[in-house]
Structure 1
Amino acid sequence: MSNSASPSADSSTPGTRQPLKIVFAGTPDFAAHHLQALLASEHRVVAVYSQPDRPAGRGKKLQASPVKQLAVAHEIPVYQPLNFKQPEAREELAALQPDVMVVVAYGLILPQAVLDIPRLGCINVHASLLPRWRGAAPIQRAVEAGDAESGVTIMQMEKGLDTGPMFTKVHCPLATDETGGSLHDKLQAVGASALLQTLTALAAGKAVAEAQDDSLANYAHKIDKPDLNLDWQQPAEVLERRIRAFNPFPVCFTHLAGERIKIYRAQCLAESSAAAPGAIVRADKQGIVVACGSASLAITELQMPGKKPMAVTQVLNGYGDKFAPGTHLAAE
């Protein structure tokens, strides 16, 4: 993993570091990791903004976000507006008089009136090497596309979606077996240190931002159900990357005899088959081998309805008859 020498400026001169008064806005675990880093730093987090509590679990009870839970544990005031359209919400933020607002996977688009409130503006931690993968799901889309590297960009926020000038970029190579989950964990670790580096430069008045090249931009669309529904007409290589991208959440699926089967891990096989796409060619301890639009895919970990994810050997011990050669898996 490497940190770009530019655009962040050197802020190591003794006596230039000043603690900042920060308002933090974020919601999921990725954001909570960055909040934890701020809480352990010299900076002062005076308030936290997070998405409203949502129903979760089988009982559909309201559950606070990971960011809210961390803030409450540290006795930091938490604000949860539905949006910032109401003047009261903006006035509440302005009354906090923050030096800077740090935004990490918050889930709300901030209007210009909010971006203008902090003395140093709002900065965002984005889990890609901007301008590549602007948008909602940069981690998963990088894995799905087969990118050789990803990273984290710390940028100044502006009205456009992830279009602001960049302070810091940290590069992170992708492993051949990278999953959405493993890349998430790598990027939250490097993102936290990049955030602190950027704040140090901001506090010293030495941060320099570099404009994005819009001609290189692409968009990381929100993950929808059709993204998870495996189409066996596609090449095995494409399906294998998709399975990795959405592991451990929200997880790809297929259908077997009317039941939804979740697929957690699979391997591409160079072998091709005369069988129709979706047909099970063979099933053994190496995997449940399925014919694809080109080449074949060996499923090595899956989840039967109402069960936990299991390795293929466990699946075949309990459900071997369901995966007999000639049986067809189907898209919904």
Structure 2
Amino acid sequence: MRIIYAGTPEFAVPALQGLIAAGHEIVMVLTQPDRPSGRGMQLKASPVKQLALAHGLPVFQPESLKPAEVQAQIAATDAEVLIVAAYGLIIPTPVLNIPTRGCYNIHGSLLPRWRGAAPIHRAILAGDSETGVTIMEVVPKLDAGNMISKWATPITEADTTQTLHDAISREGARLMVEAMHTLQTSGQLPSQVQDESLVTYAHKLEKSEAGIDWTQSAVQLSRQVRAFNPFPVATARFKEQVCKLWFAQVAQADAGAPAATSPVAGSQIAGNIVQIQPLLVACGEGVLQIDELQMPGGKRQTAQQFVHGQHVQVGDRFF
């Protein structure tokens, strides 16, 4: 089929690869304009643009899809389908009406839960037991279209936004390629209406959310650290320096952590380091085991590298 593909970040790359491999004709790739990146702030093409150029596909990078001349250029492709994956720009109704066989989106949650900008992060932060991906029809209302297919996966204590992002991106690509095969061969895609009573919204992450509050429970802080990996990365102060916490988990009894109800845990000040092998920190409830972190100007390192490099002792404190 003749397809317009709209996507920008790494999340959107596997689906474009899959559609190319399936033999569809990608008549236009919509992606956001090149943005400054790196220390030199040089303009950098999006991952989707890089893939498109490698395959000789036509790329269109308007700042907005609202101008009439932009919409006319999109309409001139005579596309049958518009596929959207983390494009990042609002798609006006006139553009949604251009493809003759519909517009479809890869959304990184099990709709109707977590409509919006940060579904993977919010699922981890909320302590959801599972997440996944939904192939859905695109309608003017945010993430409200009928659902075509889903894939679900458990959220484990070892999962970060990065690990779930990669799995969801991969499986979303597979589902989208399957959906396009069904549409091409049968002429239609069966779908299911979302239950509006179950809708939740995944609001955009703010950097202000990154700071660790050690008076919270170890369970909640583990979720925060894992949800904010790889961005914006949870932060805490240690010896007047702001460090990044890349991975942490609730300390288990077999790691030597005092139980949350024990006098030892109860007497600890939140943020105090109670053990250094492994690196355990007292919280408002329970104990957090820090496994990977990063000091300003340094590289990511294991907790034990941090302990040795910073001469950490029991009784030192994170703020």
Q: TM-score surpassing 0.5?
A: yes
Amino acid corresponding to residue 140 of structure 1 in structure 2: H
Determine the C-alpha separation between the residues in 1 that align with 2:115 and 2:249: 29
Amino acid corresponding to residue 318 of structure 1 in structure 2: G
Q: 2:135 aligns with which of 141, 154, 162?
A: 154
TM superposition shift of 1:75: 0.9
Q: Show the counterpart of 2:254.
A: none
Q: Show the counterpart of 1:268.
A: 250
Determine the C-alpha separation between the residues in 2 that align with 1:228 and 1:183: 19
Determine the C-alpha separation between the residues in 1 that align with 2:249 and 2:130: 21
TM superposition shift of 1:276: 2.2
Q: Show the counterpart of 1:92.
A: 73
Offset from partner CA, 1:148-179 (integer Å, 9 cap, x none): 11111111100111000111111222223111
1:127 equivalenced with 2:98 (yes/no): no
Q: Show the counterpart of 2:272.
A: 279
Q: Show the counterpart of 1:254.
A: 236
Q: Show the counterpart of 1:29.
A: 10
Structure 1 vs Structure 2 CA RMSD? 1.3
TM superposition shift of 1:278: 1.8
Q: 1:297 aligns with which of 288, 297, 319?
A: 288
Q: What TM-score does the superposition give when structure 2 sets the normalisation length?
A: 0.93
1:324 equivalenced with 2:313 (yes/no): yes
Is 1:104–1:124's contact at 8 Å kept on the other side of the alignment? Answer: yes
Amino acid corresponding to residue 227 of structure 2 in structure 1: A
Is 1:273–1:296's contact at 8 Å kept on the other side of the alignment? Answer: no
Q: Which has the higher contact order (CA 8 A, sep 6+)?
A: 1
Is 1:180–1:248's contact at 8 Å kept on the other side of the alignment? Answer: yes
Amino acid corresponding to residue 286 of structure 1 in structure 2: P
Determine the C-alpha separation between the residues in 2 that align with 1:154 and 1:312: 40
Q: 1:220 aligns with which of 186, 202, 214?
A: 202
Offset from partner CA, 1:250-300 (integer Å, 9 cap, x none): 211111233110001112134423122222223x2211x222111111212
Q: Show the counterpart of 1:49.
A: 30
Offset from partner CA, 1:108-132 (integer Å, 9 cap, x none): 1111111111111211000111001
Is 1:265–1:299's contact at 8 Å kept on the other side of the alignment? Answer: yes
TM superposition shift of 1:44: 1.0
Q: Secondary structure at the match of 2:266?
A: coil
Amino acid corresponding to residue 105 of structure 2 in structure 1: N
Is 2:207–2:232's contact at 8 Å kept on the other side of the alignment? Answer: no
Q: Show the counterpart of 1:81.
A: 62
Is 2:157–2:249's contact at 8 Å kept on the other side of the alignment? Answer: no
Q: 1:193 aligns with which of 174, 194, 197?
A: 174
Determine the C-alpha separation between the residues in 2 that align with 1:215 and 1:234: 30
The sequence identity of aligned pairs, in percent, is 46
Q: Show the counterpart of 1:231.
A: 213
Is 2:15–2:177's contact at 8 Å kept on the other side of the alignment? Answer: no
Gaps of 5+ in 2: 252-258
Aligned residues between the structures: 307
Amino acid corresponding to residue 281 of structure 1 in structure 2: V
Offset from partner CA, 1:18-42 (integer Å, 9 cap, x none): xx10000000011011111111012
TM superposition shift of 1:227: 2.0
Choose 199-208 or 60-69, whichever is displaced more. Answer: 199-208
Is 1:240–1:267's contact at 8 Å kept on the other side of the alignment? Answer: yes
Q: What TM-score does the superposition give when structure 1 sets the normalisation length?
A: 0.89
